[in-house]
Amino acid sequence: MIRLAVDAEGGDFGADVVVRGVVAARQASSVPFATRLCGDGARLERVLGELGREGPGFDNSEFVIEHCPDVITADDRRTMVWKDKAASSIVRCVALQKEGQADASMSAGDTGILIGSALFILGRAEGVSRPALAAFIPTPVKPVLVMDVGANVSCRAEHLAGFVELGCAYISRLFGRSDVRAGLLNVGTEPAKGPDEVREAARLLEGNKNYIGFIEGNKVFSGEADVVVCDGFVGNVLLKTSESFYSLITGFLADSREMFEILSEKMDALNPENYGAAPLLGINGTVLKAHGGSSVRSIKNAALTALKAVGK
């Protein structure tokens, strides 16, 4: 049975939403999994108790509570939280993997703290110089993996080249494909275009069978590449801009219910809540970052994504 450690305190809406999301994942998953909830023990007992009173089919014995008394504040050094606040929920859910008590960790908390905890507690995978956050964005053809989307604000050429390797390996493992295509996001397709580190990364990737060259922003949603690689600053902007498109379209159609109903099924592919969580690739473990503003539905899909990553 897969064992999932969850930071129940992470996210903007608190433990109630996180726990309800995990419960929804249990109901939707065809794969049974054990859950260890990391957070304030009394609060989690209360949430589980409320869920038990709401539905007769709920069994809170399916959850194990990991009481985490440490609370991270704005005064804490982000680079040392993994050590100074080892009993905080976000750090503890990662540490459970190191201790062999979990197969995957999931949090909607602070991205920097989660990544730092994963790096210092679990360590980098062999041959990886820089881990990266990867996230799927929808296209009319297929989901496209974008990386990095926030772990590394700036990157050297060797990091970008490494992201291509990581992204292709992840797609290959997740979908059983050997024909993965990856491109470097750039301002043009000509060899002389773009920043030095992007052009140097292209040189390092010469001969890589998965690498198809530079890809411009207007081709990201074409599905031309399965993996689009860039630094974390560009990737985070791209990801959040694409996610906002769903809200933009639904806003335009708010006063036209008939039109909204006609298009809602197709537009649902653009809803960021359907994509759950972004995996941190390149570490010795399975760690997923959910959106800070995750709803119950988002947490549910994040947990299902974690199960899929472990199951492969």
Domains in the chain, start-ordered, CATH in brackets? 1-123+283-312 (3.40.718.10), 130-272 (3.40.718.10)
Give the integer Cα–Cα distance in Å for 147 and 243: 15
Tens place of pLDDT per residue across the chain (312 aa):
899 999 999 888 989 999 999 999 988 988 889 999 999 999 999 998 888 777 666 667 778 999 999 999 888 888 889 999 999 999 999 999 999 999 999 999 998 899 999 999 999 998 898 999 998 887 878 889 999 998 999 999 999 999 999 999 999 988 888 899 999 999 999 999 999 999 999 999 999 999 999 999 999 988 899 999 999 999 999 988 887 877 777 777 777 777 767 666 666 656 667 777 889 999 999 999 998 888 999 999 999 988 888 865
Query: In what side-by-side order are the strands of the sheet with 227-229?
Result: 63-67, 33-39, 2-7, 104-107, 287-290, 277-281, 132-137, 144-147, 227-229, 182-185, 211-215
Q: What angle do CA 192, 227, 4 make, to 5 degrees?
A: 145
Distances (CA, A) of 291 to 74, 139, 197, 241: 20, 20, 29, 14
The CA-based diameter of the chain, rounded to the nearest angstrom, is: 65
